[in-house]
Amino acid sequence: MSSEPPSGQASTSTNGLRDRIKRVLSSRDNASRIRKRKKVAKLVWQYLHVLRLSLLVAGYLWLLVLPLSWLGERTYIDENALQPSQVKTYWNWEDTQRADRFLEDVTSLLNRNSSSAERATFFAIELAKFGIPSSTQRYSIQTARGVGLLHYRFH
């Protein structure tokens, strides 16, 4: 014999609590309805200090849990919504200096008016330092600079 309710009837467990609350609070006459609501309000007011304390403890626990790294795994966070203390940077001073040196090298290529082949070779070498395979391809286009060299990489 199945323990599921017959089709077309709602489960008593999902609607049971709601129906019980409605039965307790609803009444035919206004006087008994007001008495019941006063009784419920008195009960809530009686345990209000417990509710306040539990919400306070829950809030403090949430603040303690919030910085944990596992809480934000596989979660998109918009950069515009971040507060300064909520960001964990993965760049250290050495990485910043390395990026500055790379920028200086790229700027020197630009300043000395390097050819397309020199720039492509430079980027191929830099990508190879990180283990990223790359290739170059010659192409011809009519511009004031002449023949160029296309640099690309594969995913």
> Which runs of consecutive H residues, i.e. helices, occur in the chain?
12-25, 30-46, 48-65, 93-111, 116-129
Is the confidence at residue 97, as pLDDT, over 80? yes
Q: What is the distance between the terminal CA atoms of the chain, rounded to a whole angstrom?
A: 59
Query: Does residue 104 carry a pLDDT above 90?
Result: yes
- Predicted confidence band at 3 (pLDDT cuts at 50, 70, 90)? very low
Which one is predicted more confidently, 94 or 77? 94
| pLDDT (average), residues 102-118 | 88
CA-closest candidate to residue 88, choices 97, 99, 77: 77
Tell me how far apart the alpha carbons of residues 132 and 135 are, in angstroms, rounded to a whole number: 10
Cβ neighbour number for residue 57 with a 10 Å cutoff: 10
Q: What single-letter DSSP state applies at residue 1?
A: -
Whether residue 39 is predicted with pLDDT greater than 60 in this model: the reply is yes
Residue 11 pLDDT exceeds 70: no
pTM for this entry: 0.37
Please report the pLDDT score of residue 143 as a whole number: 67
Between CA 68 and CA 114 the distance in angstroms is: 48
Query: Could you tell me the two tokens for 94?
Result: 């050495």
Note the pLDDT of residue 46.
92
Q: What is the pLDDT of residue 32?
A: 81
Report percent pLDDT > 90 for the chain. Answer: 17
92 contacts 99 by C-beta, under 8 angstroms: no
Burial class (CB in 10 A: 0-12, 13-18, 19+), 27: middle
Q: Where are the domains of the chain?
A: 13-65, 113-155
